Structures are given as structure tokens and as C-alpha cells.
Structure 1
């Protein structure tokens, strides 16, 4: 492939943007390709190279790059009527009503502008509502670029994971290994009366996709109930992708007190949201005293895009299509790994997928209970060795994935997320032929 234009653009970008990018995960070696446009389930770069796209904007593009006519018309109409107003519009009420109808935990919603802003607001709300300062996050979980959750360490021995964050922030953040119910009980036994909230992704989505062990979220729910803490599900990635319109909380049958959203709920435009029980969410100003505000919150173009995307998904069997393709892809990958790399693990559910370059998993998933992605099934022969925490994924062959596998897939015209950890996604514009093409590329690259 020719990449002269992308190289030239990157050279220019290095002079005006730190690292030449505006989000660190876009920095690939030796330099990223620059996208010119999207086309259904594909992207075309500045040099005219065409890629089968499984990044999907890191998750927001449930429908792909070509918006269906109802979505496109709604976006164009709102944009033509004026960029924004600094006043409420009907469409934000309609989107909030849609979310309330379909998501089990949500009675009220406050729309914001990013997943990070949503989790920042949720943490502030939980602390104010409970009158407590400490929060619990999962090791390997990700809740945006915010000081309270950018921590590393174990239990109450934590420190900031980035320069520029005062150590005092980490003092109020406790960590747990995902899927370790006993560690959760021990942490609550020691700190339960000081914990405002447990913040977790239903499925770890920024650490290779780690499925919950059966009963883990139920344990967190019980501990929060027993100690007066709030359970917060970060569904920025899984919201309206895993579990369809009910989101992952509906799929797993666990109802949190608060839920944070992003990505799909804005239909591909910048968005975030905090939803939950009315008595909690009403603590936000102006109904309550917990300050939260934003110039672009409830932006009419974003609200219209999100509402029409979800309506289209509900009325056109989108979830059946993308979930079917996801299962076809994961099952095909499982068969390939059985022949070529039996120590690696296929992960994902619904329209999410990834191959984790695990080191110590024996045997194969093919023909077993997890033959289309690891679901932490105790009857699977790999149950003891499949990844259960973020640390398990971190011990995988991350350098091989990033430096050898990702470039090999790119050269075959398949665009994957640029590291071992980020989720990959199927969209409604993908076809069975696209899945088969991707599987052939995996065979060659692995």
C-alpha cells in the first residue's frame, strides 16, 4: 500500500499537535493512516487505500459510516435549523424518554458531552448523595481521562497513573481485581462505611474484553446494598451495543443505581449521559445542589442523531444482524486459533470481539461451551486460564499484537484498534462477505 499522503499529513501534524494526534490511541507505528471518508463498513484513507473497518470510531458507529436516510435527514434538518441555542429543545426530551423506556435502571437522564464527562459527573453525584468520599474501581477498568479513576495499585495502596494528578486524588480511590468476589468482600469489610460508589464496566472493554464471571456483579450489588453505597455501571462502550436496547445491565440482569453512557447514544456525535433513579439524578442542579452544567450538553444535532439511530436499530432488526455477524466472526476466529495459535483466546459478545494473545491458555475453545468467545463458563476446559482480570490481559503478548499483527492486518486492508486492549466492533453495514474476508486475513496474519 502507498501511504505518502498519510506520512505527509503526519509530518505536518507533529508540528501542531502533541504526538501528531488528538487521542493517544490513534498513534500507531511508524505513523497512523489518515482517513478521508467512510463507506458503509469501510474507511478510505488519504492515499485511496480501502480498509474493512472494525474500529467503528471506537464504538459509536452501530450503523456504520453511511447513515440510513431517517438518521441522515434528522441530522441535516437540525444542523440547518441552527447549530445550537443555549436553550432546551424537544429532541433532548424525546431521547431521554427513549432511554427511560428501554434501560432498566434509568428513570432520569442528564446529557453531557463525553464519556469522561459522564463518569466525572457520576462520581461527584455519588459522593454528594452518600456523603462519602471513597470510590471503588476495577483494576484494568477505564472510566475516561479523569483524576479520580486514573489510578494504579491494589486495594487502598493506590497512586495516580498519570503525571499531573495530585496524590491526594488517589487516596480516595480503591481498586479491585475484576471478577474477584472475595477481594470485593474484604475491601467492603474494611472500608464499606466510607465507600460512596463502586464504578465498573459490565464487561471490561478497554482491556481486551473481559466477561464477568457468573455472580460477580450480583456480589457487587449485594455489597453496595448492605453498606449504603451506589453501584455505577459504566456503559459508555456496552450501552446500546451489548444487550440491545436494554444494554448490558439488561443482558446480565443486574440493575445499577447509576449508569453512564456515551458513544452510540449520540449516534456518532460527541455525547455522554448519566442516568439512574430519580431520587439520585435529581440531586444535579438546578433540581438539587450538585453542580453540573455544560454549554453543549443536549446539543440538538447529537440528540437527533442518537434518537434516530436508536429508533432505526429498534425497528430494523439491527441487533439481530450485528450480533449474528459477531458470533460468526468469533466462531471463525476460534476455529482458526485451534489450528494456528491454540494458546490465544477469542473474547467478546454480541457485536464486540477481539483476539487476546494469551500465553498460558491450553487446548482450544472449538466445540466447547465458549466456541464463539469466552463467556467465563466453568464447563469450558479453558476456564482456569482464560483472562479474568485486566492484569491477565496485560500479561498477554501485547508487543507482538501491536508491532507485528496489527500492521500485517492493515496491509491486508483490515483496520483494527491499534493495541491489544481496545475493543473491536461489528456494524450494521458489515456483511457476511466482510466477515469471511476478515477471517482470511486473520489466517494469514496469525
Structure 2
């Protein structure tokens, strides 16, 4: 496989960008990443003309694939031709807000911003102001963007910033608990309930290997928040409008969070973030309240058009049936392959998310295991071995995944997420042929 142009581009990039990239995960592959020149349906073509089946899909935003359907493309072109942006409200942002509030059960009002990070930062600020409290509970290993309040490592109140440049004082207000650990959450609220502003949680750990919630886990968090006057904040930057369709993961799991953060699909592939939630809470944002939140590019008309038309297209066509069906085919096929070739590995995911986690141990007998991705079933023979939280995923063979497995898949023309932790995504542009090609590559690489 010729990679001369990518190698030369990376050499040039190292001189003008830290690490040669604008987001660190893109350089996770050694010795250098390939540079994408264009997308084509469910594929990407790199700067050397190599073609790959793309299961990264921009790390999640591209529900429809790289080729936008005509209604979406027309809307983007129309709003781009009207002018780049205006520093004033536009009709399309009202239409997009109305669509989201009609379909997501907990969202009565919404504020559009420019990234998932900006959404979570603003949601935490809002929760602290609304409750008059400072402490925030997060899941160990979860990622909520480049948020100084949530970039922590450690457990319970014994946490510290996970990046230089963040004052230790910031971490003093953050409490980290293991995902899916009912007792840990209850203990934290017993000790600090009167000081907790919110629990910030992904409904599915989707940036740390794909870990689904155990039975009643989110109900436990919701009850604890209700009992102690804290807010439950769902981070649906990844799962929003992918898991659970238009109702998002909160609809899938039947949970009614106080606030929800969005990103990725809600912008149709353009830069975006959003905070949605109960009107009583949301009205505390300026200008209707006192909690400052503003942004020059917030509600950008091109992004609003792309996001709204993407969701409308999904609502009016078979998008979710298609992507979820292919996702299940992938997970079922991978479950069979792993049972035969790597029985200790865990197949994870739901709807249009999928991943093989390189767990180190598994049961002797796989009879009765989850057939299309781990569901945390206590009756599953893998239950004692499958990841329950971020720490379990990190304990897997992460170096083998990145240094041995990923390059073998790339050589076969399959583009997977750059490490064991990021999700992989099915798009409307993918086909059954893409699934079969990918499964054959897994057989060879595993």
C-alpha cells in the first residue's frame, strides 16, 4: 500500500502543528496517520488514492455517510449562498430547535453552541448555578470533552487533574465513581449529597470501549438526584440521534434527565454542540437568566440547516432501520468470529455502534452468550468477564489493539477508530457488502 503522500503531509504538518494534528486522537496510529482526501458514501480515499471502508464516520457525526442526500445538500448550499453568518438570529435555528424539542422527551428548551465540549462546560455551569452547589459526579474514564471540571483521574473525592494546566482546585469539586456501580453512587450521595450539583453521565459509555448500563443503573442515578435535589445530566454527544433514534438514548432507556448535551449528529457533520432540558432550568441562561452563555458562531445557519435536514431525512426514510440492521449484522458476525478465534474478546455495541474489546479473559463455555453485543445480562456466561466500566476496558490489551490489530485491518482496507476506546459507527451509506468485507478482514486480523 503506497503511503508516500500521507508520509510527506505528516512531515510537513509536524513543522506547523503540535504533533502534526489538530486533535490528538488522529495521531494515535504509528508511525503516522493517513490523510483523507475525500469521502465516498461509506468509504474514504486517502491522499495516495487508497480506499477504505470507513467505520469512523468522523467519530460519529455522519449518520448519512459522506454523500449527503439531495435535500440535505440543497439546504446546506442554500444557506451557505445566503451569506456565511450574520450575528443575528435566523429562522432555521428556530425550526431546528422546534424539531428537537418535539422529538426528545426531556428537552423543552435548547441552546445551540459550537462543540460537545462547549455544551458540557455550559451544562455544568448551569447545573451549579441552578442548584447553588459546586460538586459534579462523573464516571471514571468517561470523556466529556476538554472540560477542566471533568478531566480528572482517580476515584471518589481522591481525584486530580488528568492534564497539566488545570489547577488542582478544579478537581476538588469533581467526584469520580465507576460506571455501573450502584453502591459507589449511593455512597457518594450519602457522603456529599447536599453539595452535589449534578451527575454527568453518558447513557452508554461510548468513548471508552462502548459499555452499556447494567439493569436499573440509570434509574439509581435518577432517584439519587431527585432525592438530593441534584440534576441528572445525560451526555448524548455521541449517542444523541444514534442510539434510540430520534428520541435518543434517554428514550431507549426510559430515563428523563434534567439536562442533555448534544453534538455530532445534531449538526449534520458540521461543528456543533447543544444543551437541552427542562424549561425551568434552561431559562437560567442569559439573557432570560443570569448564567452567562454566548458564542459568535452559535446557531450557525449552515450547521442548523445540515442538522435539521439530516434529522428530517432520518425521520422520513428508513435510516434507523438500515443502520441498526447493519450494526446487528456486524455484531452477530463478530460474536461468531470471536467465539471461534478469540473467545476471550468482548463484542460490544447497540443500534449502529459496534466494537471488539480485547478483554483478557473469558468463560470456558460460551453457550447462551449475548449474540449481538454485550447487554450486561447476568445470565450471560460472559457477565463476570465483560467490561462494566472504563477501568475494565483500559485493563484490556489496548497496545495489541492499536499496534498489531489496527494496522492489519488498515492493510485490508478497513478504517477503524484509532484506539480501543473510541466507538465505531454505521452510516446510511454503508452496505451489506461493506459488512461482509469487514467481517472477512476481522477473520484475517484476529
Global fold match (TM > 0.5): yes
In 2, the alpha carbon distance for the partners of 1:444 and 1:48 equals 23
Which residue in the other structure is 1:172 paired with?
Answer: 173
How much does 1:361 deviate?
Answer: 2.0
CA-CA distance at 1:181 after TM superposition: 0.4
Matched with 1:342 is 343
Native 8 Å contact 1:337 1:364 kept in 2: no
Structure-2 separation of matches of 1:348 and 1:133: 34
Retained in 1: the 8 A contact 2:369–2:382?
A: no
Instruction: Specify the alignment match of 2:196 in structure 1.
Output: 195
Give the whole-Å Cα distance in 1 for the aligned partners of 2:280 and 2:108.
9
Q: CA deviation at 1:369?
A: 5.2
Residue 263 of structure 1 contacts residue 272 of structure 1 at CA under 8 Å; is this kept in 2?
yes
Query: 2: CA distance between counterparts of 1:265 and 1:37?
Result: 22
Q: Distance in 1 between matches of 2:381 and 2:365?
A: 8
- For the residues of structure 1 that align with 2:21 and 2:245, how far apart are their CA atoms? 32
Is 2:202–2:235's contact at 8 Å kept on the other side of the alignment? yes
Q: CA deviation at 1:368?
A: 2.7
Equivalent in the alignment of 1:420: 420
Contact 2:153 2:161 in 1 (8 A): yes
Gaps of 5+ in 1: none
How far apart, in 1, do the equivalents of 2:346 and 2:312 lie? 35
Q: How much has 1:362 moved relative to structure 2?
A: 1.9
SS of equivalent to 1:342: coil
User: Using the alignment, how far apart are the partners of 2:91 and 2:368 within structure 1?
Assistant: 50
Within 1, Cα distance between the matches of 2:443 and 2:361?
21
> Cα offset for 1:360?
1.6
Q: Which SS does the other structure have where 1:236 is aligned?
A: coil
1:376 aligns with 2:376: yes
> Structure 1, residues 308-334: CA drift from partner, whole Å, max 9, x if none?
000000101100000000000000000
Match of 1:406 in 2: 406
Once residues 311 and 251 of structure 1 are traced to their aligned partners in structure 2, the CA distance between those partners, rounded to angstroms, is: 19
3-state SS of 1:9 partner = helix
Q: Distance in 1 between matches of 2:445 and 2:315?
A: 36
Quote the Cα distance in structure 1 between the aligned partners of 2:317 and 2:197: 41
Q: CA deviation at 1:364?
A: 6.2
* Number of positions where the alignment pairs a residue of Structure 1 with one of Structure 2: 445
Alignment partners' CA distance in 2, 1:221 and 1:361: 32
> Secondary structure of the residue that 2:442 maps to in structure 1?
helix
Q: CA deviation at 1:428?
A: 0.3
1: CA distance between counterparts of 2:134 and 2:31? Answer: 43
Q: Which residue of 2 aligns with 1:136?
A: 137
**Equivalent pair of 2:203/2:249 in contact (CA under 8 Å):** yes
Shift of 1:378: 1.2
Q: Distance in 2 between matches of 1:369 and 1:273?
A: 38
Distance 1:50 1:56 in 2: 14
Match runs of 1:224-239 below 5 Å: 224-239=225-240
Aligned residue for 1:274? Answer: 275
Find out whether 1:390 has 2:390 as its counterpart: yes
Distance 1:369 1:358 in 2: 15
Please tell me whether the aligned partners of residues 342 and 364 of structure 1 are also in contact (alpha carbons under 8 angstroms): no
Aligned residues of 2:178 and 2:184 also touching (Cα < 8 A): yes
1:221, distance to aligned residue in structure 2 (A)? 0.2
Q: Contact 1:343–1:363 at 8 Å: present in 2 too?
A: no
CA distance in 2, matches of 1:263, 1:362: 37
Which secondary structure state, in structure 2, belongs to the residue aligned with residue 355 of structure 1?
strand
Give the secondary structure class of the aligned counterpart of 2:211.
coil
Identify unmatched segments of 5+ residues in structure 2. Answer: none
SS at match of 2:200: strand
